Structure 1
């Protein structure tokens, strides 16, 4: 009979045939959206120009120039943020920009305020300009000190107009490498929403979402998500058909955006590139390595725990149950924009639950449903389980009932077939049964007070073997004959349990063992 757990394993395999209408489940980005941030970096450059043509003069100027803007995500409630190195470290040198600005202002020459190295027609001034450009050497006439200022704008309501200042803790050696920031303000109470950071970029991951902020976040400009698919699965690139829309996403300050695994709703990397630069996914393995290099740890906070507790009843449309939990989130973090939005929707649809089917959450995607093929297969498998379990039980009960009925009908015949007891003081043993290794049959000597004595291998000298020919069990025999009785009857015993068998019975009436007559 097939075992039940084998059949259940088959059902699980059939369940894997379930097909979804869309590979991105409902609410797959809700765990990541609250921790999405916008990152803006500017270079503050202090330049000291030395003019020694007649009297030595020092000309000090300060300039600010954009370095980069992009997206990122918070990985610790005290304000640890991850983005791409290209967002906070531009390939354009701000020291060149400062040198062009100071020469144009002080020497009154036409030099564009850009990041390119220029040449002047005046040989003397051109020599001074070239000596001002980095790197600084012994003959340099400029001392330039650049400082990168980073500002982080979390997704909050009301929005933070000035954002939070952040320190640059770690950068990578390539534009796509992770950069680690630490907020200098705003994370003191450890209540910032964070994203769940995955362990590794698995080989089977295909369906993802890319979440970033093209503008400074507010209720009117929330994070934007683009669905995408890795090609190959678990790879670092996207499908060719999706690269055009991802180029647009990356152009609109999408570099450094989180790449979310739809299966687990975890961040498994960040995205960089776009335009002339190939789109690439930096895996979460590199992100974790950068965090170790920066001596910081990714962790979730208490606000995240309470917020994610509310997501299950909210997405299952049990809005009455979700409301008090969302209210608790806002007591802990009043500017939690996603919790505010979910709470407004839950209150408006409190009366509508799963039974009505009228409520539909904003931006929700179709949930997975079982196909008719799978439902039919499950029904057939369940019927198979019932048949495989019930039929053997019914057959066994029927055999036992037939055997018991036969034993009751042959009882008079068995009594009539009992041989004449040996003289007083003797006992007999069914040697055939002993030879077969089954239970021996005992015969009491007629007389008073005689008790049965087991006839074992050492009992041969204690009593005589009963008169009559001892029946031995032949090869393949299912019974043992004790010998012919005085009335000509023959007693047959079961080799399985040692009990007497009825005449011409094919099964033992006590244990159901088959007997070959």
Structure 2
């Protein structure tokens, strides 16, 4: 039965292999080199404003309370969403104003109310009038018991996601953790976390590539996202050396065709500071763009992960990212027919996804065309509109062989063997020895063939005496030379 089971199992496996051959081979694909689409949906524009409310207590003349409020923009840059709830990694300079806006507000309100010339800057000034100057100095921070100004400063940070149509108001975030220096990483969380499936996120790498000249991509915004402002992607290469914090990792073109530090420094000043630096190997974020002027550098991913850990924030991917990455794999391997439904699903989950909408448009345009690998493989394996007949013919032959083989093995298994002729039990005679051992049944040996018994009249006890085997005690026929049961010769 074991052999029958093994044979039927092998035949069933062969039938499955033939009957269930896929019309289109399915293969696993890695993301191609240089991909930035994994990150760009999660890139956001950051704009930071210091909001100051100041009340001047005028004691010079008639007692008056003068109230003013000022909004002071102090930073624009780029951030990266790392959690579906809208949590962002950026730089401290994009979240914390390094200037003392209370001094700025004091200068403004004194100049406006007392009609004196004071620059609207962040420096403390003196006036020629001793009384006014005394009141001005008492207005400047830090606050004292004799202060002439009551000042309240808040920071308003807005993130504008990469969506279409553009979000006019974005969403508000606050800084919960940041390093001490302006170019240290910062963690910003939304005041109202995103609900449902949330927002697209960017995958973060574990470390920075060590190889000098490793290609990267820097993606960010030079303005607030809108119909005429899209995310900008710049190719750059990692240079030699570098360190933690503001020392950073320099950029350097290995072919020396352009000055990458100057180019990236200029882009940082225009709004791409804090932008994610994307590794060319797998499309993960390996750092953030820092610096400015004539020196753009990269802050490594380990510093970013360290601040996230201190803030007790775990970066994670969401449902949108899973659907988008699956569609993106098909798109970049030119399976446009299969990619299109995937991008449609992404847009159902997150209708404003600019990157998914653009790739869907391209997929629909190329679907079924000469570049579509899915269509080409289908045409190669399926002539016309019918499936080839040879798999079904082979399956029929294997099925016939399986049925025949199974029937034959079952017949061999169940066929009765030819019974061995055994001597008839003793009808009469002396009793057997009660102490004799139990009789052992032994098949006839080919060395001692049994002579067929002759058809003759049975003799009575008076005509011929009965004979018994001296070895086993079984009755012997009149013409037997050997015992028909044990094969012992009767002459002995």
TM-score (norm 1): 0.61
Report what 1:203 is aligned to: 210
Once the two structures are TM-superposed, the CA of residue 256 in structure 1 deviates from its matched residue by 0.8
Pair 1:239 & 2:252 matched: yes
User: Which residue in the other structure is 2:20 paired with?
Assistant: none
Q: Deviation string for 1:207-236 (max 9, x for gaps)? A: 111111111113432110111111117761
> Where do 4+ consecutive residues of structure 1 move more than 3 Å?
24-27, 53-57, 353-357
Q: Distance in 1 between matches of 2:264 and 2:184?
A: 19
Distance verdict in 2 for CA 1:27–1:319, change over 3 Å: farther
Matched, 1:349 2:366: yes
Does the C-alpha gap of structure 1 residues 27 and 186 become closer, same or farther in structure 2, counting only changes over 3 Å?
A: farther
- Structure-2 change in CA distance of 1:254 and 1:355 (3 Å): closer
Distance in 2, matches of 1:50 and 1:280, equals: 47
Secondary structure at the aligned position of 1:31 is classed as coil
What does residue 216 of structure 1 align with? 224
CA distance in 1, matches of 2:297, 2:327: 34
Deviation at 1:88, TM superposition (A): 2.1
Matched, 1:288 2:296: no
| In structure 1, distance between residues paired with 2:178 and 2:103 | 21
Q: How far has the Cα of 1:73 moved from its partner?
A: 0.6
Cross-structure match for 1:59: 66
Question: Which one of the candidate residues 187, 197, 200 is aligned to 1:193?
Answer: 200
Of the three residues 336, 344, 350, the one matched with 1:333 is 350
Distance in 2 between residues matched to 1:128 and 1:92, nearest whole Å: 22
Residue of structure 2 equivalent to 1:461: none
**CA distance in structure 1 between the aligned counterparts of 2:50 and 2:251, rounded to whole angstroms:** 33
1:312 is the counterpart of 2:320:
no
Query: Can you list the C-alpha shifts for 1:135-192, whole angstroms capped at 9, x where unaligned?
Result: 2234432221110001000000111011111122222210111111112246122420
Find the counterpart in structure 2 of residue 34 from structure 1: 41
Q: Secondary structure at the match of 1:29?
A: coil
Contact in 1 for aligned 2:60/2:131 (Cα 8 Å)? no
Secondary structure of the residue that 1:67 maps to in structure 2?
strand
Pairwise CA distance, 1:355:
6.7
Q: What SS does structure 1 have at the residue aligned with 2:271?
A: coil
Residues 154, 217 of structure 1: 8 Å contact kept: yes
Give matches, 1:60-459, under 5 Å.
60-185=67-192, 187-204=194-211, 206-232=214-240, 236-239=249-252, 241-275=259-293, 278-354=295-371
Alpha-carbon offset, residue 54 of structure 1? 5.2
> TM-score, normalization: structure 2?
0.64
Change (3 A) 1:260 1:145: same
Is there any run of 5+ residues in structure 1 with no aligned partner, and where?
1-23, 360-517
- TM-superposed deviation, 1:27: 5.0
Q: How many equivalent pairs are there?
A: 335
* Alpha-carbon contact 2:34-2:281 (below 8 Å) kept: no
Q: Distance in 2 between matches of 1:292 and 1:204?
A: 27
Distance 1:317 1:356, change over 3 A: closer
The structure that has the greater radius of gyration is 2
Q: For residues 182 and 309 of structure 2, what CA distance do their matches in structure 1 show? A: 19
SS of equivalent to 1:37 = strand
2: CA distance between counterparts of 1:94 and 1:190?
39
CA RMSD, 1 decimal? 2.4
Listed one character per residue, the Cα deviations across residues 87-138 of structure 1 (whole Å, up to 9, x for unaligned) are: 2223222112111111012111122323233222212212222222222234
Gaps of 5+ in 2: 1-30, 244-248, 254-258, 377-492
Distance across 1 between alignment mates of 2:261 and 2:117: 42
Deviates more, 1:107-116 or 1:132-141: 132-141
